Amino acid sequence: MQKNALTGLKCHVSELIDLLRGVLYPNIFDPDCLGEGHEKADLNKAEVLLRQILAVLIEDEKKAEIIVSSMVSSLPEIKEVLMTDVRAAYEGDPAAQSEDEVMLAYPGFEAISIFRLAHKLYELKVPILPRMMTEYAHTVTGIDIHPGATIGKYFFIDHGTGVVIGETTTIGERVKLYQGVTLGAKSFDANPDGTLVKGIKRHPDIGNNVVIYAGATILGGNTVIGDNCVIGGSVWLTHSVDAGSKVLSPQPRNDIFSIDD
């Protein structure tokens, strides 16, 4: 991969996002404002652009073609999952007047719709591009979701500003986060030469039907929040919580520098 070939790549990321979301929801996101019935045109443009981007990132034309084909075939499934996210937002926020409003006006849906596209490319082991896509979402929404995170259906981020979800986080179904929530790492193991150890589990696991209120911080690769838990605002957690629990006050921070996760 040559650095000079990367010039201009960043400006194509938002274009690719627009095209892919235009295929999924032409009445909402069609970049040409043509609406229903023009999905095929958007899909053709998206395929061409994705091939061009992959030509810069991957020096293997056959592999790139497999990625394009896999991405295109995954779009119906991605759309199906995203519709559960729309439904979760509409049902979870009394201020939401319609599902269209959720898709057009909610930063949480903006971020999660881009994440789910980027996550598929991450699964296909595409370098750089998935992270650029989610960082674009971060720029426009204030919500930082690493494309490597695993997030179940019916996911809703309310308000959203300042939410951080780390690479090895797993989130179950019907989970609701409020603004300022961090699902992060406690600390980082280092190699003997001082470089950080990569590829290990660093971020928490969140069960099904969990609500995490504003400003909560949950850290560590061994930290598991069980099903049906409620985590209160500004709570600090570096240990697991049993299913069905409510944690409504900040927890001690004396293990923040521990590296045993």
204 and 78 part of one domain:
no
Residues 83 and 12 in one domain: yes
The pLDDT tens digits of the residues spanning 56-72 come to 999 899 999 999 999 99
Structural domain ending residue among the three candidates 94, 110, 142: 142
Q: How many CB atoms lie within 10 A of CB 173?
A: 16
Check if the beta carbon of residue 110 is closer than 8 Å to that of residue 149: no
pLDDT value of position 244: 98
Number of domains in the chain: 2
Do 64 and 101 have their domain in common? Answer: yes
The domain of 232 spans 162-261
Strands (E) in 72-229, as ranges, are 144-145, 150-151, 156-157, 164-165, 170-171, 176-177, 182-184, 205-206, 211-212, 217-219, 224-225
Residue 150 lies inside a defined structural domain of this protein: no
Region 21-40: what's the mean pLDDT? 76
Instruction: Find the CATH number of the domain harbouring 209.
Output: 2.160.10.10
Which of 41 and 119 is assigned the larger pLDDT?
119
Residues 97 and 195 both lie in one domain = no
pLDDT value for 38 = 66
* Residue 1, domain member (yes or no): no
**H helix or E strand, kind and range, residue 44:** helix 39-57
Shared domain for 188 and 230, answered yes or no, is yes
Do residues 150 and 203 make contact, with C-beta atoms less than 8 angstroms apart? Answer: no
Q: Same domain for 172 and 67?
A: no
Same domain, 167 and 241: yes
Q: Is 151 part of any domain?
A: no
Lowest mean pLDDT among 11-15, 51-55, 186-190, 222-226: 186-190
